[in-house]
Amino acid sequence: MLNKFIFIYVCMIICLPAHSYESDKDKPIFLESDSAKWDEESQKSTYRGNVVVTQGSMVLTGNLLIVTSKNNEINKMTVFGEKATYRQKTRNGKIVNGESKKIEYYADKAKIIFLNKAVLTQSNNTVRSNKIIYQTDSENIMAGDKEGKSRVKMTLEPKKDNE
């Protein structure tokens, strides 16, 4: 019950009426790294060292990236790093930043999962937990886990007069 309340509260307070650029999902994905390996049979590619992924305004960074595809379409990208990062501009120009040790990006589902020391920030509002699920199209956030074993910490800044 408490987790449902936290989820609803986070959605009401943090989820502003903005959305990631819809055009980002239609833009090409660019991958950069120090090395890359592609396995045609499993449709899995691995990128190592100074990994940078960009798609429109979205940027992911880390030390290791594993991309899985189905029918030659990317369906999941997993970024690892001591501090793997995510950054994207919303439709109304606000920046969303995220970081964790592992980031799972599902481009076809407009969903990002931050795992292990996860932090998500929009404006001056911050959510911290071991697991954060962020829907990029609706900006809905779900933090913590069903068992209540992962604490959720939020910092909610009052709205400024000029916002």
Q: For residue range 17-65, what is the model confidence (pLDDT) as tens digits?
A: 333 445 677 789 999 999 999 998 899 999 999 999 999 999 999 999 9
* Residue 3 binned pLDDT confidence (cut-offs 50, 70, 90): very low
Cα gap 31→109, rounded to integer Å: 20
Cα gap 137→15, rounded to integer Å: 11
pLDDT for 110: 87
121 beta partners: 97, 126
pLDDT for 127: 95
pLDDT for 1: 41
Q: What is the mean pLDDT of residues 136-158?
A: 82
> Would you say residue 133 lies in a domain?
yes
pLDDT for 22: 53
Residue 142's contacts (CB-CB under 8 Å, 6 or more residues apart) are 7, 10, 132, 133
> Would you say residue 6 lies in a domain?
yes
Cα gap 83→59, rounded to integer Å: 14
User: Which residue segment(s) compose the domain that 149 sits in?
Assistant: 2-155
Task: Give the total number of structural domains in the chain.
Answer: 1
- The SS3 assignment for 13 reads helix
- CATH code of the domain in which 139 resides: 2.60.450.10
Q: Please write the tens of the pLDDT for every residue from 70-129.
A: 888 889 999 999 999 999 998 778 899 999 999 999 988 889 999 999 999 988 889 999
Cα gap 11→56, rounded to integer Å: 25
> Would you say residue 89 lies in a domain?
yes
Among the listed residues 80, 155, 90, the one whose alpha carbon sits nearest the alpha carbon of residue 120:
155
